[in-house]
Chain A
Amino acid sequence: MSAVTASSPQRLYPVRRRVPLTRVTKVELRKMFNTRSGFWLMASIVISAVLATGGVILWAPDDQLTYSTFATAIRFPVVIILPLIAILAVTSEWSQRAGLTTFTLIPHRSRIITAKAISSVLIAFAATVLAFAVGALGNLLSAGVTGTTPVWNVTLTQCLYYLLGMLLSLLTGFMLGVLLRSSTGAIVAYFVLTFVLPIVFGLLGDNQLWFHDLQPWIDIQFAQGGLFVFERALTAEQWAHIAVTGVTWLLLPMAIGLGFATRAEVK
């Protein structure tokens, strides 16, 4: 046992300033990487982007080796992993009980949740940049292999759509994390919401005439479908679909979840 060397109380750090949100955000960002699960989730974004690119080069027909094909292929794995990152960033405070320390060091929980939201959005930005960068490399590489000129058929507007799609899927995870505060519960709910529910809605829309017209106003996945199609600009009605489903599926549950999260005891 070493001798006690902590110096006398109240001498070392006499200045008291409110912890700025930028600092809290920086720490929250670090916390997304410094666990084993967090690290591998981040790594899996890069790995899956590279694998998807490789898959396109190997198996896509030559006439489809365009930038948009690469971006679309990379999107599939990334859009699944991003929400998981957001979920775990929130739920680990409860599931792993790390919040006992976090919420005593920063007693205003809304600030922690805000910082987590900001850092999740930053990750979504980074993931989008990475997706386009890896896609570009793949596009150049495949053009080199086939000896053709690379086709850059993605406009800036389409890039922004893509980014918005990434953000919305990440926010779905974030909302579930805040609402359920349990890793398992939130992940299961996420898969139900993104994979099971669209199938149910699809069947309903195909077989029930009354639902067919309602579907874009209710089915958030359906409403966002246009964001990842590199073809045409969204119509005003499509934007309205995104706005309405966003409010009902994201903002409302998020507001309810925030109410719980700021009060719920960390046991």
Chain B
Amino acid sequence: MITVEGVTRKYGSFTAVDDVTFTAHVGRVTGFLGPNGAGKSTTMRIMVGLTRATAGTITISGRHYVDLPNPGLDVGVLLDASAQHAGRTGREILTIAQQYMGLPRSRVDEMLDVVSLTPSEASRRVGNYSLGMRQRLGIATALIGDPSVLILDEPANGLDPAGIRWMRDLLRSYADRGGTVLLSSHLLHEIEVIADDIVMIGNGKIVSQGTKTELLHAAGTVVRAADLPRLDRALGQLAIATTRSQAGALLTDVDPVLVGKVALEAGVALSELRTADAGLEDMFLALTATSPREGTTT
């Protein structure tokens, strides 16, 4: 479990992180979502003691990171997959982590296998790696000590679709076995696919947080039908307010299940019924619109 309490980080008059409070729970994947420069990385760096907080505290399973006797065995960290000595081979980088932590040598090969780096890839120097390979190596370094908490900054960057799928499955099963995962991303879709809980940050402040279902529910339901006016009347009789979208669908605040039942009773054939994700997306777009760094991928 990661507990972030009132964390603030100032650089001169600029506030990079402003009174951020949230918890990443055991057994869940928490997505840390925000545009570039929102303060995600700074918050994560404070978590692992690389940057000092101006105010506030962060504990990992109740302890400060710097007090952990052998941090790699408790927390797996991947902050920047490119931050490695380019002249070292992938295997050497893993070996260094294995030796710092005092793990058996065999663990290096096990981890190379877990992240699907072949022996010939592992003996190449990291300077020749693609970003996707660096991410895999970074994940291997984070997992090698068999930690119970994972902190990953933009781990899906540079992965191909199959790689993103692989990472999703890996993190999902890791959380299901009782691990805590905090991962950041500037892509809403990525977080939506992987995370159970979402913490959205913009300009250093938390804008919204909750479980994915909560946040998506808050956005309501989108429904389309052959006879839309009839469905609209049926909903109106139950005092369910609706609005007509520009694309010709009906939007309401209530649960899709309820809308489906109403449609069934009214005898209206539906052509589409889904949770509207527009709420989260609108909020995210509003955030990125104020940020000049929109769309960059670093």
* Chain A residues close to B by CB (< 8 Å): 1-2, 4-13, 16-19, 23-24, 26-27, 30-31, 34-38, 92, 96-101, 103-108, 263, 265-266
CA A101 – CA B78 in complex, angstroms? 8
Cβ–Cβ contact A105 & B68, under 8 A: no
Lowest 10 CB-CB distances: which A-B pairs, in order?
A: A35-B87, A97-B83, A12-B146, A100-B83, A9-B148, A18-B69, A36-B87, A8-B177, A96-B85, A1-B166
A9-B178, A19-B70, A36-B125 known; A98+B100 contact, CB < 8 A: no
* Chain B residues close to A by CB (< 8 Å): 45, 48-52, 65-66, 68-74, 77, 79-80, 82-89, 92-93, 95-97, 99-103, 110, 113-114, 116, 125, 141, 143, 145-148, 162-163, 165-166, 169-170, 173-174, 177-179
Cβ–Cβ contact A265 & B50, under 8 A: yes
A4-B114, A16-B70, A16-B73 known; A27+B162 contact, CB < 8 A: no
Q: Which residues of B contact A266 (CB under 8 A)?
A: 50, 83
Cβ–Cβ contact A7 & B113, under 8 A: no
Q: Which residues of A contact B93 (CB under 8 A)?
A: 101
Cβ–Cβ contact A2 & B113, under 8 A: yes
Minimal beta-carbon separation of B140 from chain A (angstroms): 10
Q: Which residues of A contact B113 (CB under 8 A)?
A: 2, 5
Minimal beta-carbon separation of B218 from chain A (angstroms): 32
17 contacts between A and B (CB under 8 A): A1-B162, A1-B163, A2-B113, A4-B170, A5-B114, A16-B70, A19-B70, A30-B96, A34-B92, A96-B84, A100-B80, A100-B83, A103-B49, A104-B72, A105-B97, A105-B100, A107-B66
A2-B114, A107-B49 known; A101+B84 contact, CB < 8 A: yes
- List 20 other contacts, CB 8 Å, given A6-B114, A98-B85: A1-B165, A2-B116, A4-B114, A4-B173, A9-B177, A16-B68, A16-B70, A19-B101, A92-B85, A99-B83, A100-B50, A100-B79, A101-B93, A101-B96, A104-B48, A106-B100, A107-B49, A107-B68, A107-B71, A108-B66
